[in-house]
Amino acid sequence: MDQKKLEELLHAVHKGQLSVREGVHRLRNLPFEDIGEAMIDHHRPLRKGFPEVIFGEGKDAEQMIMIMERMVETQDDILVTRITEEQAKAVLKRFPQARYHPRGRAITLQVSEEEVKGKGVILVISAGTSDIPVAEEAVVTATMMGNRVETIYDVGVSGVHRLLAHREKLMEASVLIVVAGMEGALPSVVGGLVARPVIAVPTSIGYGTAFGGLTPLLAMLNSCSSNVAVVNIDNGFGAGYIASLINRSQEV
Amino acid sequence: MDQKKLEELLHAVHKGQLSVREGVHRLRNLPFEDIGEAMIDHHRPLRKGFPEVIFGEGKDAEQMIMIMERMVETQDDILVTRITEEQAKAVLKRFPQARYHPRGRAITLQVSEEEVKGKGVILVISAGTSDIPVAEEAVVTATMMGNRVETIYDVGVSGVHRLLAHREKLMEASVLIVVAGMEGALPSVVGGLVARPVIAVPTSIGYGTAFGGLTPLLAMLNSCSSNVAVVNIDNGFGAGYIASLINRSQEV
Amino acid sequence: MDQKKLEELLHAVHKGQLSVREGVHRLRNLPFEDIGEAMIDHHRPLRKGFPEVIFGEGKDAEQMIMIMERMVETQDDILVTRITEEQAKAVLKRFPQARYHPRGRAITLQVSEEEVKGKGVILVISAGTSDIPVAEEAVVTATMMGNRVETIYDVGVSGVHRLLAHREKLMEASVLIVVAGMEGALPSVVGGLVARPVIAVPTSIGYGTAFGGLTPLLAMLNSCSSNVAVVNIDNGFGAGYIASLINRSQEV
Amino acid sequence: MDQKKLEELLHAVHKGQLSVREGVHRLRNLPFEDIGEAMIDHHRPLRKGFPEVIFGEGKDAEQMIMIMERMVETQDDILVTRITEEQAKAVLKRFPQARYHPRGRAITLQVSEEEVKGKGVILVISAGTSDIPVAEEAVVTATMMGNRVETIYDVGVSGVHRLLAHREKLMEASVLIVVAGMEGALPSVVGGLVARPVIAVPTSIGYGTAFGGLTPLLAMLNSCSSNVAVVNIDNGFGAGYIASLINRSQEV
Amino acid sequence: MDQKKLEELLHAVHKGQLSVREGVHRLRNLPFEDIGEAMIDHHRPLRKGFPEVIFGEGKDAEQMIMIMERMVETQDDILVTRITEEQAKAVLKRFPQARYHPRGRAITLQVSEEEVKGKGVILVISAGTSDIPVAEEAVVTATMMGNRVETIYDVGVSGVHRLLAHREKLMEASVLIVVAGMEGALPSVVGGLVARPVIAVPTSIGYGTAFGGLTPLLAMLNSCSSNVAVVNIDNGFGAGYIASLINRSQEV
Amino acid sequence: MDQKKLEELLHAVHKGQLSVREGVHRLRNLPFEDIGEAMIDHHRPLRKGFPEVIFGEGKDAEQMIMIMERMVETQDDILVTRITEEQAKAVLKRFPQARYHPRGRAITLQVSEEEVKGKGVILVISAGTSDIPVAEEAVVTATMMGNRVETIYDVGVSGVHRLLAHREKLMEASVLIVVAGMEGALPSVVGGLVARPVIAVPTSIGYGTAFGGLTPLLAMLNSCSSNVAVVNIDNGFGAGYIASLINRSQEV
Amino acid sequence: MDQKKLEELLHAVHKGQLSVREGVHRLRNLPFEDIGEAMIDHHRPLRKGFPEVIFGEGKDAEQMIMIMERMVETQDDILVTRITEEQAKAVLKRFPQARYHPRGRAITLQVSEEEVKGKGVILVISAGTSDIPVAEEAVVTATMMGNRVETIYDVGVSGVHRLLAHREKLMEASVLIVVAGMEGALPSVVGGLVARPVIAVPTSIGYGTAFGGLTPLLAMLNSCSSNVAVVNIDNGFGAGYIASLINRSQEV
Amino acid sequence: MDQKKLEELLHAVHKGQLSVREGVHRLRNLPFEDIGEAMIDHHRPLRKGFPEVIFGEGKDAEQMIMIMERMVETQDDILVTRITEEQAKAVLKRFPQARYHPRGRAITLQVSEEEVKGKGVILVISAGTSDIPVAEEAVVTATMMGNRVETIYDVGVSGVHRLLAHREKLMEASVLIVVAGMEGALPSVVGGLVARPVIAVPTSIGYGTAFGGLTPLLAMLNSCSSNVAVVNIDNGFGAGYIASLINRSQEV
Residue from the list D33, D204, D212 with its beta carbon closest to the beta carbon of F165: D33
Does the pLDDT value for residue F29 go beyond 80? Answer: no
pLDDT digits (tens, 9 = 90+) for B133-171: 999 999 999 999 999 999 999 898 988 878 887 878 998
Could F223 and E159 be called an inter-chain contact, meaning their C-beta atoms sit closer than 8 Å? no
Q: Which of F167, F186, F188 to mutate to test the interface with E (most CBs of E within 10 A)?
A: F188
Per-residue pLDDT band for D230 (boundaries 50, 70, 90) equals: very high
**Yes or no, beta carbons of E157 and F189 under 8 Å apart:** yes
Residues of C in contact with D183 (CB under 8 A): none
CA nearest neighbour of G55 among G243, G248, G234: G234
What topology does CATH give the domain A121-249? Rossmann fold (3.40.50)
Q: What does the radius of gyration of chain B's CA atoms come to, in whole angstroms? A: 23
d(CA B224, CA D156): 8
Do H and E make contact via 3 or more CB pairs under 8 A? The reply is: no
Average pLDDT score over residue span F151-155: 93
- Using an 8 Å CB-CB cutoff, list chain F residues near E203: none
Predicted local distance difference test score (pLDDT) of residue E90: 95
pLDDT computed for residue H4 by the predictor: 66
Q: D38: distance to nearest CA of chain E, Å?
A: 13
Q: What does the domain layout of chain F look like in residue ranges?
A: 3-109, 121-249
Choose the most confident range, by mean pLDDT, from A42-56, C25-39, H158-172.
H158-172
> Which of chain F's residues have a Cβ under 8 Å away from the Cβ of G192?
none
Residues in E touching C7 (Cβ below 8 Å): 20-21, 24
For residue A24, give the nearest of B7, B21, B24 by CB distance: B7
E112 residue type, one letter? S
Confidence tier at E3 by pLDDT (50, 70, 90): low
CA distance A112 to C186: 33
Which chain B residues touch A20 with a CB distance below 8 Å? 7, 10-11, 14
Report the relative pairing of strands D175-180 and D121-126 from DSSP bridges.
parallel
Q: Give me the residue from B130, B161, B210 closest to E37, CB to CB.
A: B161
Nearest-10 Cα torsion for E26, E28, E32, E37: 100
Q: Where are the beta strands (DSSP E) in chain E?
A: 52-55, 78-81, 99-101, 106-109, 121-126, 148-152, 175-180, 198-202, 228-230
Cα dihedral H66/H70/H72/H75 (nearest 10): -160
User: In which band, very low, low, confident or very high, does the pLDDT at H118 lie, cut at 50, 70 and 90?
Assistant: confident
**Best to test chain H binding among C126, C154, C157 (most H CBs inside 10 Å):** C157
Lowest mean pLDDT among F43-47, G174-178, H112-116: F43-47
On chain D, the residues whose CB falls within 8 A of the CB of E174 are 250
Q: In the prediction, which pLDDT does E24 show?
A: 72
3-state secondary structure chain B: CHHHHHHHHHHHHHCCCCCHHHHHHHHHHCCHHHHHHHHHHHHHHHHCCCCEEEECCCCCHHHHHHHHHHHHHCCCCEEEECCCHHHHHHHHHHCCCCEEECCCCEEEECCCCCCCCECCEEEEEECCHHHHHHHHHHHHHHHHCCCEEEEECCCCHHHHHHHHCCHHHHHHCCEEEEEECCCCCHHHHHHHHCCCCEEEEECCCCCHHHHHHHHHHHHHHCCCCCCEEECCCCCHHHHHHHHHHHHECCCC
D33 pLDDT higher than 60: no
The confidence band for A48, taking pLDDT boundaries of 50, 70 and 90, is: low
* Contact yes or no for H207 and B232 at CB 8 A: yes
Could you tell me what percent of chain D has a pLDDT over 90?
A: 53
Average confidence (pLDDT) over G196-219:
94
Tell me what pLDDT residue C34 has: 39
Q: Report the C-alpha gap between H143 and H240 in whole angstroms.
A: 8
Which of H206-236 are b and which e, b meaning 16 or more Cβ less than 10 Å from the residue's Cβ?
A: bbbbbbbbbbbbbbbbbbbbbbbbbbbbbbb
Of B61-75, B201-215, G135-149, the range with the lowest mean pLDDT is B61-75
* Distance in Å, alpha carbon of D231 to nearest chain B alpha carbon: 15
Distance CA(C184)–CA(H188), nearest Å, equals 10
Give the predicted TM-score (pTM) of the model. 0.86
ipTM: 0.83
* D231-241 pLDDT tens trace: 999 999 999 99
Distance CA F64, CA F90 (A): 10
Interface partners of H (3+ CB pairs, < 8 Å)?
A, B, C, F, G
- The 3-class SS string of C124-164 reads EEECCHHHHHHHHHHHHHHHHCCCEEEEECCCCHHHHHHHH
**pLDDT of D117 strictly over 80:** no
Can you tell me the mean pLDDT for D23-40? 50
Residue B39 has pLDDT above 60, yes or no: no
* C-alpha dist (Å) from residue D115 to D73, D110, D144, D148, D227: 21, 11, 9, 10, 29
Please give, rounded to a whole number of angstroms, the shortest distance from the CA of H149 to a CA of chain A: 16
Q: Report CB contact under 8 Å: E221, F208.
A: yes
Q: Is the pLDDT of residue C236 over 50?
A: yes
Q: What is the mean pLDDT of residues B216-229?
A: 95
The string of DSSP letters for chain D reads -HHHHHHHHHHHHHTTSS-HHHHHHHHHHS-HIIIIIHHHGGGGGGGTTPPEEEE-TT--HHHHHHHHHHHHHTT--EEEES--HHHHHHHHHH-TT-EEETTTTEEEE--SPP---BSSEEEEEESSGGGHHHHHHHHHHHHHTT-EEEEE----GGGHHHHHTTHHHHHH-SEEEEEE-TT--HHHHHHHH-SS-EEEEE-S---GGGGGGHHHHHHHHT-SSTTEEE--TT-HHHHHHHHHHHHB-TT-
Residue-level pLDDT at F6? 72
The 10s digit of each residue's pLDDT in C61-89 is 888 898 888 888 777 789 999 999 999 99
Q: Please say if the pLDDT value at position D38 is more than 50.
A: no
Is the pLDDT at E83 greater than 90? The verdict is yes
Question: HEC string of C28-46?
Answer: HHCCHHHHHHHHHHHHHHH
The helix-helix angle for E214-221 and E186-193 (nearest 10°) equals: 30
The yes-or-no verdict on residue B45 having pLDDT over 50 is no
- The one-letter amino acid code at G42 reads H
Q: Are strands G106-109 and G78-81 parallel, antiparallel or unpaired?
A: antiparallel
pLDDT digits (tens, 9 = 90+) for F67-76: 888 888 777 7
C12-51: per-residue pLDDT in tens? 888 888 888 888 767 655 443 334 433 333 334 345 567 7
Q: What is the mean pLDDT of residues F38-49?
A: 43
Please give the residue that has the higher pLDDT: either A111 or H12.
H12
| Cβ pair D142, D240 in contact under 8 A | yes
CB contact under 8 A, B242 and C232: no
Please say if the pLDDT value at position C5 is more than 90: no
Q: Are D186 and D170 in contact (CB under 8 A)?
A: no
Instruction: Please check whether residue D19 is in contact with residue G36, taking contact to mean a CB–CB distance below 8 angstroms.
Output: no
Query: For an interface test with A, which of H42, H221, H252 has the most A Cβ atoms less than 10 Å from its Cβ?
Result: H221
The pLDDT confidence band at residue A7, using thresholds 50, 70 and 90, is confident
